[in-house]
Amino acid sequence: MSWPWNELGLSGPSDAEAIKHAYAQRLKEVHPEEDPESFQRLQRAYQTARRIARMTKRREPVPDWTAPEEAQPSPDAAAPEETQPPPDAAAPETPEEPDNAPPVWDFDTLLSQGEQETDPEDEIPEEAPWVPPVYEYEGPQRRPRRRLRLSDGMKSVVVIAIFLAIGFALNWSNWFPRPIDKISETQEWLERTFHIDLVSSSHNKDREEDRFLYWLKDDPDVCFQAIYSEDGEFQTNYTSAMLYQELKSFSQEWPDYPLWFDRKMTDSVGEGASGGAPPAMFFFQIPLEGAEEFLNALGTRLEQLAGSSDWYQLQPPEFQIALLHGEAAVYSFHSSNGEVPTGQELVEFYEEEMTGALLQDLLFQQDVVLWDYPDQDNLIWANTGAGWVQDDEGWWISCRGTGRSGEDLTMYYFLRSDYTALYCIPGQVLEDPEEMMTLSCTETLTMSCGQTVDIYRVL
């Protein structure tokens, strides 16, 4: 269990930076000319340690910046019901009457204003002598009543109060509208715009921001978000969910070209942007040869989605599609780069430039350049292109930098088109046409796909 770490002078498993440093120190002690066998053991230990470090790093869980996930509803399960309040919860308070509500008039008080209960009696002057009164009965007498006379302004107030009272009685909700239901309005916009039936997450009411989670009624596994906007400019990643469904369906038609995607379609309990985030990266595995028909079909499907799908045009999804061979990324397209690639463009890249993409992976990901340079930090990638070496067709890359002995070094790396051999040739050898070039196989690399590549160098 101590190998390959003891070969590098390490006490145990380490990260890539520590492995690289230890390897550089050991190279000062082991030289390929003096001790080829020890040098090859050191190379194998270094490659194995780097691969273990990379595999360990990839197995680490992706940090989730949202709250814990909520279990997804199964497709056969009924739509989630809204959470009911506890029985002992307090009844909702009656909304207070707004300050601008019309006044309520007391009509009895209004009608009694200005009326006098009795008329004032005649007073007898104090200086007049008293004379006994003489009464003559003339029958019952009625005092005249005074009528209430309202001003024009008061009449207007009364008329307005009557109309307001009638209006309140007929349609109270028009005067006091209910609070805006952002969740329902967002769901109605989604259903109306995309002609779909949705279920709203029961946790939407608990979210602090106006970002809500929904899923298709007939497919609970497809979760997505929508952001409420007061001006009606709603935003959603529903189109990303649709693209995911389309590409997953396409991959089922081509089982020999496995599809990997970053699935994050989970409901977060509460807030967060990751809940209901459909996949955005799609990686297809392709072989070294024979993938032309698949690539042509993939490009055609992408063109159809971008050009004829209404949902794609409403809010274009943001996504990345890459072609991998093993762990080597040989082609990548991001939706922000412009129009989607056509099938013909994918096939042309596959036929003309895939060898160059694999050469880059061998040099800089599997560290072939470290045979000639102490590190990659100050390495300059000068030129690249198709070419020939010893009647072999392939792809070459030239690099410049400081060699292991501190000299200025230019190296040419050439990968044969059948991916069986990689030639590493110093620039000074190519500059002297009279010098005979003898290439010797110094090691054999095995790519992640299982393809073996012999490394040839000028010794």
Give yes or no: residues 304 and 268 share one domain. yes
pLDDT at position 386: 85
Shortest CA distance to 437 belongs to which of 422, 445, 446, 425? 425
Phi-psi region of 75 (alpha: psi -120 to 50; beta: other; left: phi over 0): alpha
pLDDT at position 275: 61
pTM: 0.56
Give yes or no: residues 288 and 237 share one domain. yes
Give yes or no: residues 328 and 430 share one domain. no
pLDDT at position 110: 37
What is residue 91's DSSP assignment?
P
pLDDT at position 411: 92
Digit-coded pLDDT (tens) for 48-86:
888 888 887 766 554 443 333 343 444 444 444 444 444
Instruction: Let me know: does 18 contact 10? Beta carbons within 8 Å.
Output: yes
Give yes or no: residues 221 and 187 share one domain. yes
First to last CA, the chain: 34
Give yes or no: residues 400 and 260 share one domain. no
The residues of the chain scoring below 50 in pLDDT are 62-131, 134-137, 172-173, 175-178, 266-274
Cα separation, 415 vs 451, whole angstroms:
13
pLDDT at position 408: 92
Residue 158 in domain: no
Residue 303 in domain: yes
Residue 161 in domain: no
Give yes or no: residues 332 and 414 share one domain. no
Rg (CA), the chain: 43
Digit-coded pLDDT (tens) for 244-278:
889 999 999 999 999 998 765 544 443 344 467 78
**Helices within 315-377 (DSSP H only):** 343-352, 354-360
pLDDT at position 456: 92
Instruction: Give the type of residue at 439.
Output: L
Cα separation, 428 vs 409, whole angstroms:
9
The whole domain housing 365 covers 359-458
Give yes or no: residues 260 and 327 share one domain. yes
Cα separation, 147 vs 127, whole angstroms:
38
Strand 235-236: give its sheet, edge to edge: 198-200, 211-216, 219-227, 235-236
Residue 374 in domain: yes
Residue 166 in domain: no
Instruction: Give the type of residue at 117.
Output: E
Give yes or no: residues 336 and 404 share one domain. no
Cα separation, 423 vs 420, whole angstroms:
10
Please list, in sequence order, all residues whose beta carbon lies within 8 angstroms of the beta carbon of residue 149, skipping any fewer than 6 positions away: 114
Instruction: Let me know: does 315 contact 236? Beta carbons within 8 Å.
Output: yes
pLDDT at position 174: 52
Cα separation, 72 vs 277, whole angstroms:
13
Question: SS3 of 172, please?
Answer: helix
Give yes or no: residues 320 and 286 share one domain. yes
Give yes or no: residues 448 and 319 share one domain. no
* Total domains, the chain: 3
Residue 159 in domain: no
Give yes or no: residues 344 and 196 share one domain. yes
Give whole-number Cα distances, 284 to 323, 330, 394, in Å. 5, 11, 24
Residue 344 in domain: yes
Residue 95 in domain: no
Give whole-number Cα distances, 375 to 21, 370, 372, 379, 450, in Å. 10, 6, 9, 8, 27
Within 13 Å of residue 284, how many CA atoms lie on the same side as its CB?
Answer: 27
Residue where one domain finishes, among candidates 327, 352, 377: 352
Shortest CA distance to 430 belongs to which of 454, 411, 455? 411
Give yes or no: residues 348 and 367 share one domain. no
Shortest CA distance to 316 belongs to which of 247, 249, 242, 266? 242
What is residue 145's DSSP assignment?
P
Residue where one domain finishes, among candidates 290, 321, 352: 352
Residue where one domain finishes, among candidates 15, 39, 59: 59
